[in-house]
Structure 1
Amino acid sequence: MILQNAFKPATIKIGLESEYKDELLEELVDILAKDYPKDRIFPREEALRALRKREEKMSTGIYKGVAVPHATFESIDKLRGVIGLSKNGIDFESLDGNPVYLVFMLVSPPSQAEAHLEALRQIALLIKDHLLLENLMKATTPEKVFALIREFEDSLNP
């Protein structure tokens, strides 16, 4: 249930508007900010700083049009994520040089490192499932993306 807890339809966007990595990170962080509890201040600048710092080490644009930007920082309350789909592709400086069409962003506090790593592990497994990846990229609603994630995660823990 790690992925089902990190992502939800409100943090899934079909039709990302960004064309480049840095503006994509801002778009994803802004999606997350809109879903943050109203009684707290979302640490937008800290989130962006942590994600950019992680990207400076090595691009999280991996392969097959997928990127998994992720970071940990103190002022976030728990593991949270955003999923985004782009029709046109995003120049993410990916390791394979190809544009990114599907993005899984994760942020968490250092105290939830184990959950963060488990979420990354599950995303890696998900990416290896060619049919699931294709279905995610064809999804037209956040609810469909979430349903596919839920089915996948449920299949890991029958």
Structure 2
Amino acid sequence: MILQKVFQPSTIRTGLESENKEELFEELVDVLSRSYLAKSPFPRQKILDALARRESKMSTGIAKGVALPHATVEGLDTLRGVLGISSKGIDYDSLDGHPVFLVFMLLSPPNDAESHLQALQRIASLIDDTNMASRLAASTSSAEALSLIREFDSGELS
């Protein structure tokens, strides 16, 4: 059920316009900023810096057209995520050298490692389901993508 809590209609973006990783991070952080209702200020630059630091260690473009940028960020109130879907593919410096079409950005405060790991594990399970990942990548609306996530997260597709 964790994916249903992390990804909401307002944090799912179909039709990504980004052509590379840097543009993608900006676009996804913009999506997150519009849905950020915490009392503390939105830590935009901290998020971008944390993602860049994580990517400098190793690309989170894992394979099969999927990227999973993730980081811990001081100033975040809770586990947050954005799902981005691109129909044209994004140059991401992926481990397999292919463009990415499905991007799960996951961010958490430093004191919430358990939820962060649970969400990463559930996303990994989703990605392993090739049919599910393909259907999700073909989604043309946030409602369609969220419906698939809910089905998968509730165990109906796993």
Shorter-chain TM-score: what band? over 0.9
Q: d(CA) in 2 for partners of 1:18 and 1:140?
A: 16
Determine if contact 2:54/2:71 at 8 Å carries over to the other structure: yes
Aligned to 1:152: 152
Q: Report the Cα offset of residue 40 of structure 1.
A: 3.6
For the residue of structure 2 that corresponds to 1:42, the secondary structure is coil
In 2, Cα distance between equivalents of 1:101 and 1:74: 28
Report what 2:109 is aligned to: 109
8 Å Cα contact 2:87-2:138 kept in structure 1: no
Partner of 2:22: 22
1:71-97, CA deviations, whole angstroms, 9 ceiling, x for partnerless residues? 002200000000001111100000000
State how far apart, in whole Å, the 2-side matches of 1:71 and 1:109 are.
9
Other structure's SS at 2:92 match:
coil
Note if contact 2:74-2:110 (Cα within 8 Å) is conserved in structure 1: yes
Matches within 5 A, 1:38-77: 39-77=39-77
Give the aligned partner of residue 6 of structure 1. Answer: 6
Code of the aligned partner of 2:18: S
Q: Hey, what's the Cα distance between the residues in 1 that align with 2:152 and 2:46?
A: 31
Unmatched segments (≥5 aa) in structure 1: none
Task: Output the TM-score relative to the length of structure 2.
Answer: 0.96
Structure 1 residue 41, shift from structure 2 partner: 1.6
Counterparts of 2:14 and 2:73 in 1: how far apart (Å)?
A: 27
**Runs of 4+ displaced beyond 6 Å:** none
Aligned CA-pair RMSD: 1.3
| Corresponding pairs, count | 157
Residue 140 of structure 1 aligns to a residue in which SS? coil
**How far is the alpha carbon of 1:38 from its aligned partner?**
6.5
Alignment of 1:132-147 (within 5 A): 132-147=132-147
Q: 1:39 to 1:112 in 2, by over 3 A?
A: closer
| Structure 1 match to 2:125 | 125
Q: Distance in 2 between matches of 1:98 and 1:126?
A: 19
Unaligned runs of 5+ in 2: none
Distance 1:142 1:34 in 2: 15
Do 2:38 and 2:77's aligned partners in 1 also have CA atoms closer than 8 Å? no
Task: After superposition, give the CA deviation of every residue in 1:14-43 in whole Å (9 maximum; x if it has no partner).
Answer: 100100001101110110001001744210
Amino acid at match of 2:105: M
